[in-house]
Amino acid sequence: MPWLLETIRATVFAPDIKALRLPDWRTLMHTPPSETLNDPEADSTVEAGAFGGQLLTMGLARRPARGPGRADLILAPLHPTAVVPLADPLQERIEPAAIGPFTTSFPQFMELARRWLSTDTNVRRLALACTLWERASNPDDALDIVLHNVPSFKKVGDDRIIDFLIQLNLPRASRINPSISINRFGQWSARNVEIVLPTRNIMWRPPTIRSPRAQADLDISTANDADIPGRQIAEHLEELARMLVEIAEKGHTP
């Protein structure tokens, strides 16, 4: 079963984030946003709207008192749950919503991220982060999926493991600039996600659906102290994308 992409984010940090002249929603999407929030005190702007049936959010914050400015491009499901048909055409189930299969959804997001981050101004840091999950028939099945992708952790004998969560960072030197270290952070978990169904009867506890799954929260980023020349931003963005795909396809290995 392939990974499903729940959310994904591209982030850029720069001493003067406005100097990057990143496109706003109207420039990038050629339509006005559905919602715009401005915070003059924090000098921040958030624009949001529908994109390909999902929710796309663009945020920019100057943050002069807390280090470099930051801009984010985030794609997430438009609704929290989805109805999924089963093999029997008369049956279906409710589960947490996802953008779609990672293999098809990730390239589409990256195409948008490249257009959004088409600047030649130097930046301080780049990051790609996402949440992936895979359906499991039960918690033990979810744990097996996680352990297959995290070979550095081994279960001993018949040990029973519940509520499993492990996080690790296996940094690598950039192939574009070996002086830059790239953090390959992942948090892997086997979990039961509970969906509370709406009910009109306030006297009864709302029914819940448990959805066991294996989950990977991945964050691939350049180190905090790495200045990235504007002419190399596109190359570094592609490098981060390749590392994220590698982990999704081959597991979290050095």
For 170-195, the pLDDT digits (tens) are 999 999 999 999 999 999 999 988 77
Q: Quick one: pLDDT at residue 157?
A: 73
Say if residues 125 and 15 touch (Cβ distance below 8 Å).
no
Q: Quote the CA–CA distance of 237 and 216 in Å, as a whole number.
A: 20
Helix, strand, coil abundance in the chain, percent, nearest 5: 25, 40, 35
Vertex 61, ends 231 and 180: CA angle to 5°? 35
Name the one residue in this structure whose structure tokens are 């989950």. Answer: 215
* pLDDT, tens only, 16-50: 999 999 999 999 999 999 999 998 877 899 999 99
Which residues constitute the domain of residue 194?
A: 4-250
Q: Quick one: pLDDT at residue 194?
A: 76
pLDDT band at residue 82 using 50, 70 and 90 as cut-offs: confident
What single letter denotes the amino acid at residue 214? A
Residue from 73, 72, 74, 68 nearest 17 by CA:
68
Between 201 and 4, residue with greater pLDDT: 4
Q: pTM for the full model?
A: 0.90
**Token pair of 113, please?**
């991220």
pLDDT band at residue 240 using 50, 70 and 90 as cut-offs: very high
Per cent of the chain over pLDDT 70 is: 89
Per cent of the chain over pLDDT 90 is: 67
Q: Quick one: pLDDT at residue 50?
A: 94
Instruction: State residue 243 phi and psi, 5-degree precision.
Output: -65, -40
- Positive or negative, the CA dihedral 211, 208, 130, 184 is negative
Task: Give SS3 for 42.
Answer: coil
Task: Give SS3 for 14.
Answer: strand
Residue from 8, 185, 230 nearest 102 by CA:
8
What is the count of structural domains for the chain? 1
Residue from 194, 193, 180 nearest 233 by CA:
180
Q: Quick one: pLDDT at residue 91?
A: 55
Query: Is a pLDDT exceeding 90 seen at residue 210?
Result: no
Query: Is a pLDDT exceeding 60 seen at residue 87?
Result: no
